[in-house]
Amino acid sequence: MRDLSLAPPRTSPMAPPRSFVWSRRVFLTLLAGFVLLPVYVMISSSLKPLADVTGKFRWLPSELTIRPYIDIWSTVPLAKYFMNSLIVAGAATVCSVVIAVFAAYAVSRYDFRGKRVFTVTVLSTQMLPGILFLLPLFLIYVNIGNATGIALFGSRGGLILTYLTFSLPFSIWMLIGYFDSVPRDLDEAALVDGCGPFGALFRIVVPAAIPGIVAVAVYAFMTAWGEVLFASVMTNDNTRTLAVGLQGYSTLYDVYWNQIMAASLVVSVPVVAGFLLLQRYLVAGLTAGAVK
């Protein structure tokens, strides 16, 4: 391995000229700095005492403290917001994945009238501005609540319902790609062997498309975990999610930046860790459609 890299053949496209290597070094270093800067600020500030973040900015903490990580739980009811976010994002993810699996299976394996209309309509809802249906949805939920007593507005249920449709179009699209790549012979053989269509789906197609399903789940979870607009309108004190709850660290008198940074880090860890662990799947899924 080392010998090869020491003496690359001259004509190989793998031997980049010096100018390329240098420009690459400069560009990627600058870019890494740009990307890292907020990450560094987040981590370092979360370990600072309050005086360090209210006065002039300091690159290094005057003393290292884990105090902010203890205080974040009592300054605002962070644990409650965390639970709310977890419930909402978790439920939205499960529902979204199940529904997307059924829909993608139908599109991938059956020919039916209106197939194209369905895929185009579903995909194009992805491009609509959220603000467009925020107001009507707000009214629909309020009116459903008034008429039937089912509280959608202000409840976790309403938020789950909303978020799962946000990730649905993209999830269906990604899964169609994955299901298409599972050879049809496999599930047709299962059908011949007496499995029903659902047997074929759950015994053959789904297991073969696990990477795609993981990707869709990560995507759906990230979408629900990070949404701000609907969370800020459709939640109340009891159902508030992290997206809105984090704003509670600024009081009239003080902004607890060290705690905000600590809380931001704490709420980011689950999604960033999950994303980086499963990125291979997600990247393949995200890009499959665009490249096709």
Interacting positions 247-266 with other proteins (CB under 8 A): 257, 260-261, 264-265
Sign of CA dihedral 180, 186, 189, 195: negative
- Residue 236 near other proteins by CB under 8 A: no
| C-beta closer to other proteins: residue 146 or 148 | 146
CA–CA distance, 53 with 167 (Å, rounded to integer): 37
| C-beta closer to other proteins: residue 8 or 183 | 8
Which neighbouring-strand residues pair with 255?
250
Amino acid identity at 60: L
Q: Which of 214, 243, 259, 281 binds other proteins (CB under 8 A)?
A: 243
CA–CA distance, 100 with 206 (Å, rounded to integer): 12
- Residue 122 near other proteins by CB under 8 A: yes
Q: Which of 133, 157, 199, 203 binds other proteins (CB under 8 A)?
A: 133
| Ranges of H-type helices in the chain | 2-6, 18-45, 50-54, 67-75, 78-109, 115-125, 130-148, 156-181, 184-192, 197-200, 206-208, 210-226, 229-234, 242-245, 257-291
Residues 54-83 binding other proteins (CB under 8 A) are 54-57
Output the smallest distance, CB 164 to other proteins, in A: 7
- Residue 127 near other proteins by CB under 8 A: yes
Q: How many residues of this chain bind other proteins (CB under 8 A)?
A: 97
- Binding mask of the shown chain, residues 211 to 230, with x at each position contacting other proteins by CB under 8 A: -----------x--xxxxx-
What crossing angle do the helices spanning 78-109 and 156-181 adopt, rounded to 10°? 40
Take residue 27 and report the two structure tokens written for it: 């560009």
Q: Which of 34, 116, 148, 252 binds other proteins (CB under 8 A)?
A: 34
What crossing angle do the helices spanning 115-125 and 78-109 adopt, rounded to 10°? 160
CA–CA distance, 167 with 93 (Å, rounded to integer): 8
Q: Which of 2, 3, 17, 120 binds other proteins (CB under 8 A)?
A: 17
Q: Which of 3, 4, 6, 12 binds other proteins (CB under 8 A)?
A: 12
Residues 134-163 binding other proteins (CB under 8 A) are 134-137, 139-140, 142-143, 146, 161-162
Output the smallest distance, CB 207 to other proteins, in A: 18
What crossing angle do the helices spanning 18-45 and 257-291 adopt, rounded to 10°? 140
Output the smallest distance, CB 193 to other proteins, in A: 15
Output the smallest distance, CB 129 to other proteins, in A: 4
CA–CA distance, 86 with 93 (Å, rounded to integer): 10
